[in-house]
Amino acid sequence: MNDCSRFLVLTTIILLYYCFSFSFALDVSYDEKALTIDGERKIIISGSIHYPRSTPEMWPSLIKKAKEGGLNAIETYVFWNAHEPIYRQYDFSENLDLVRFIRAIHDEGLYAILRIGPYVCAEWNYGGFPVWLHNIPGIAFRTNNEVYENEMKNFTTLIVDMVRDEGLFASKGGPIILAQIENEYGNVMWSYGNEGKSYINWCADLAQSFHIGVPWIMCQQSNPPQGMINTCNGWYCDGFHPSSGIPKMWTENWSGWYKGWGQKTPHRTAEDLAFAVARFFQYGGMLQNYYMYHGGTNFGRVSGGPYIATTYDYDAPLDEYGNLNQPKWGHLKQLHLLIRSMEDILTHAVIRNVEYGNMMTVSFIIMTIEPKKLIPLKVQTAGHGLHAFVNGKHVRSQWAKGGRYEFDFESKIKMKNGTNLISLLSVTVGLENYGDHFDEIKNGIHGPVKLMGDNNQVKDLQNSTWTYKVGIHGIDKKKLYMRENRYNRKWELENLPTDRMFVWYQTTFMAPMGDDPVVLDLLGLGKGIAWVNGHNIGRYWPSFFADDNGCDYKCDYRGTYSNSKCLSGCNQSSQRWYHVPRSFLQDDDNLLVLFEEFGGNPANLKIQTVTVGTICANAYEGNKLELSCQGGTISEIKFASYGNPRGSCGSFERGTCESPNTTTIIENACVGKESCVIDASEFTFPNNCKLVGQRLAVEAIC
């Protein structure tokens, strides 16, 4: 081959490489029936996966499992306060790498739906707004306010330009087929009056000014501005009717529900979820998205609410750790394959047959008084917790319960003659994320603060001189959670303190072998924050137990679902296990640091793995059998026999005699729980076997 021929071959190879390396641009539009891609009507079955609630190392596996589950699209919000935590200082690194996440979706051959907002709700701190936004003079959120609109436009433009420059809109060959501006504004627009109407029209004009080449959506927005697609959110959307000429789309099909501190674990059955999906498509639906398909973890202090837990599992088809949540994942997969096989029929026929900065806000309020017999201290607070100190000594702690986050703190205090020092430590557990004017909801101590004594004496301290600090010194200044810091030599190696407030602990541990997800079992600790190798794995509060009423271990999928139905976890810690992603770990020496606020015993801490699939155990008569999914829940009893079963874990077989109701008894005791304990005895499992040495054998699915 001569040089000319070699050159021609090389040129051809290069041209072929470029042809196959870049996807072709897609023409995305819609008619009254469906979204159209290159002129063909499409059925879109999507699932929400939020990139900051997992890690880049997890993204390919999560997306692949979503595709294997029958999805053809992934949806995500964009989180303003995560990307611009400080005014005009941006962060798109690590699990905030939005471009990398969308490319991972594209690599798997799926479409993407980008919900820019930038208000997101999402049980995310402050609804996704950065706290510095609140402090700009003259600002009013989510209304016809020029100051706010300028900031919203700046961030939205940043995201649109970034995504467009990377060629990620379908019109540029990328996977993004839809974009969203604002979020559920129709639910609150009435509160803003005419200014709200002007604002939503401004949002539509802003969106269309970008000319991104794909349609824009507005969820929960009846009578949307011209050019916007209005969509539905909720448990059921089969009865939703979009505006004229717009296809029927469901942007949030709630696959479960989120969990709060002190609350039980909510579940939505696979049967009910599948019924809602099937009925939606039966009644003309063309796009539906599970919220969530993978919920993940609220790492750091990103959870809002307030009082949203660190886990954001959501009873989604992929659990918090990325494992298949069976039977939900498999049940839905079969439905998705059936629906997508009917794409041509469904799209052409009519078928008829529902803290600022989100850190713990710490305010030190200092004053002096000349006391007589003024002894009870009373504080009115909108903070979620309060610790009171007099003259450097802790007198009492109190925190909100029962869904109410304002409370009156009251405690008897002992004071000395002369000058006394009162210090109040206010704790915020996530800022409000939803509702009209949610940004105006008070947090922290707003008073009055009073001293009350004998003979109805009252001393109002509201107008006294106060000083305050914000933040936790060991976190914000000393950074005690880092492996390398100047205070390392001050850690004590002996006399481990337990049941003490405001204590820092650190230890090292070896990473568990294998690839199974890793969790910290923190039962025995009070409340605080945990770091592994400098990564903040979130708030922990294992001492907050759910009450013992309202659990439904015989969950009936029939009838209308709500988040108060099919609960589990009564009288249990609202969150005992805390996810440590494998990418946070090193093979050998891993540093664990805890900031304990309430007081607990770290000696009982355990490093565990979550093994997906089946768990099994057996116990002989007179003993107890314990099953545990270590962070998941028991979803099904695959095998159960009390009598003389044969075989071992994974290969149990029924013997010649057994209690006829074994499976039913085990299901009632275990399904829907993280763990259960059963007595292996004829009292629990009556039978007529008359055998010596009977045993109970159980195999369950997590």
CA atoms within 13 A on the CB side of 204: 19
The pLDDT, as a whole number, for residue 364 is 54
Q: Token pair of 246, please?
A: 């717009």
- SS3 state at 274: helix
Clarify whether residues 591 and 626 are in a common domain. no
Rounded to 10 degrees, the C-alpha dihedral 641/647/652/657 comes to -30
Domain end: 563, 594, 609, which one? 609
From the candidates 75, 123, 252, 432, which is the catalytic residue?
Answer: 252
Distance of CA 548 to the CA centre of its chain: 24
- SS3 state at 275: helix
Tell me the CATH number at 117: 3.20.20.80
Q: How many domains does the chain have?
A: 4
Torsion over CA: 643, 647, 652, 656 (sign): negative
Domain end: 354, 387, 411, which one? 354
- The yes-or-no verdict on residue 315 having pLDDT over 80 is yes
Work out the mean pLDDT of the chain and round it to a whole number: 89
Higher pLDDT, 495 or 658: 658
Distance of CA 435 to the CA centre of its chain: 19
| Domain annotation covers residue 67 | yes
Tell me the C-alpha to C-alpha distance, in Å, between residue 468 and each of 19, 59, 426, 464: 62, 42, 11, 13
Beta bridge partners of 521: 577, 606
The pLDDT, as a whole number, for residue 464 is 79
Distance between CA atoms of residues 166 and 565, nearest Å? 44
Clarify whether residues 152 and 199 are in a common domain. yes
Q: Worst-scoring range by mean pLDDT, 176-185, 226-235, 412-421?
A: 412-421
Beta bridge partners of 334: none
Clarify whether residues 332 and 457 are in a common domain. no
- The yes-or-no verdict on residue 262 having pLDDT over 80 is yes
Distance between CA atoms of residues 358 and 440, nearest Å? 15
| 90-113 pLDDT, tens digit each | 999 999 999 999 999 999 999 999
Clarify whether residues 220 and 335 are in a common domain. yes
Find the domain containing 491 and state its range.
Answer: 474-609
- 3 pLDDT band, cuts 50/70/90, is low
Clarify whether residues 92 and 192 are in a common domain. yes
The pLDDT, as a whole number, for residue 401 is 80
Tell me the CATH number at 685: 2.60.120.740
Q: What end-to-end distance do the CA atoms of the chain give, in Å?
A: 63
When pLDDT is averaged across residues 173-191 and rounded to a whole number, the result is: 98
Percent of the chain with pLDDT over 90: 68
Q: Worst-scoring range by mean pLDDT, 75-79, 217-221, 489-493?
A: 489-493
| Domain annotation covers residue 229 | yes
| Domain annotation covers residue 3 | no
Clarify whether residues 206 and 115 are in a common domain. yes
The pLDDT, as a whole number, for residue 496 is 86
- The yes-or-no verdict on residue 552 having pLDDT over 50 is yes
| Domain annotation covers residue 1 | no
- SS3 state at 476: helix
Higher pLDDT, 540 or 353: 540
When pLDDT is averaged across residues 561-589 and rounded to a whole number, the result is: 94
Give the closest residue to 193 by CA, choosing from 437, 488, 511: 437
Clarify whether residues 395 and 531 are in a common domain. no
Q: Worst-scoring range by mean pLDDT, 59-73, 79-93, 447-461, 562-576?
A: 447-461
When pLDDT is averaged across residues 478-501 and rounded to a whole number, the result is: 85
456 Cβ partners below 8 Å, 6+ apart?
none
The pLDDT, as a whole number, for residue 13 is 44
Using left for φ > 0, alpha for ψ between -120 and 50, and beta otherwise, residue 565 falls in: beta
Torsion over CA: 537, 540, 545, 549 (sign): negative
pTM (predicted TM-score): 0.85
- 2 pLDDT band, cuts 50/70/90, is low
The pLDDT, as a whole number, for residue 7 is 45
The pLDDT, as a whole number, for residue 555 is 79
What residue type is assigned to position 687 of the chain? N
Clarify whether residues 414 and 553 are in a common domain. no
The pLDDT, as a whole number, for residue 90 is 98
| Domain annotation covers residue 2 | no
Tell me the CATH number at 590: 2.60.120
Tell me the C-alpha to C-alpha distance, in Å, between residue 230 and each of 119, 258, 442: 17, 25, 32
- 442 pLDDT band, cuts 50/70/90, is confident
Clarify whether residues 573 and 463 are in a common domain. no
The pLDDT, as a whole number, for residue 485 is 81
**DSSP assignment string, 630-685:** BTB---EEEEEEEES-BS-TT--B--S-B-TTHHHHHHHHHTTSSEEEEE-STTTS
Q: Within the chain, how many helices (H) and strands (E) appear?
A: 11, 32
- The yes-or-no verdict on residue 71 having pLDDT over 90 is yes
- The yes-or-no verdict on residue 368 having pLDDT over 70 is no
| Domain annotation covers residue 15 | no
| 590-640 pLDDT, tens digit each | 999 999 999 999 988 999 988 766 777 777 788 777 777 655 688 889 999
From the candidates 84, 184, 320, 597, which is the catalytic residue?
Answer: 184
The pLDDT, as a whole number, for residue 595 is 96
Contact 610, 634 (CB under 8 A): no
- The yes-or-no verdict on residue 511 having pLDDT over 60 is yes
| Domain annotation covers residue 5 | no
Distance between CA atoms of residues 76 and 180, nearest Å? 10
Among 402-406, 575-579, 609-613, the range with the most confident prediction by mean pLDDT is 575-579
Distance between CA atoms of residues 620 and 48, nearest Å? 45
- 652 pLDDT band, cuts 50/70/90, is confident
Percent of the chain with pLDDT over 70: 91
- The yes-or-no verdict on residue 358 having pLDDT over 70 is no
The pLDDT, as a whole number, for residue 649 is 63
| 448-473 pLDDT, tens digit each | 899 988 777 888 888 877 888 888 88
- The yes-or-no verdict on residue 12 having pLDDT over 50 is no
| Domain annotation covers residue 407 | yes
Beta bridge partners of 311: 297
Clarify whether residues 350 and 407 are in a common domain. no
The pLDDT, as a whole number, for residue 643 is 92
The pLDDT, as a whole number, for residue 359 is 37
Domain end: 470, 489, 506, which one? 470
- 78 pLDDT band, cuts 50/70/90, is very high
The pLDDT, as a whole number, for residue 631 is 57
Higher pLDDT, 587 or 82: 82
The pLDDT, as a whole number, for residue 612 is 64
Distance between CA atoms of residues 53 and 139, nearest Å? 30
Phi, psi (degrees; rounded to nearest 5) at 73: -155, 155
533 Cβ partners below 8 Å, 6+ apart?
483, 584, 585, 586, 590, 591
| 153-168 pLDDT, tens digit each | 999 999 999 999 999 9
- SS3 state at 180: strand
Beta bridge partners of 466: none
**Strands (DSSP E) found in 566-635:** 567-568, 577-580, 590-596, 606-609, 614-620, 624-628
- The yes-or-no verdict on residue 553 having pLDDT over 80 is no
Respond yes or no: is residue 252 known to be catalytic.
Answer: yes
Q: Which residues of 454-467 are buried (b: 16+ CB within 10 A; e: fewer)?
A: eeeeeeebeeeebe
Clarify whether residues 272 and 342 are in a common domain. yes
Tell me the CATH number at 408: 2.60.120.260
- The yes-or-no verdict on residue 246 having pLDDT over 60 is yes
Clarify whether residues 392 and 437 are in a common domain. yes
When pLDDT is averaged across residues 412-419 and rounded to a whole number, the result is: 89
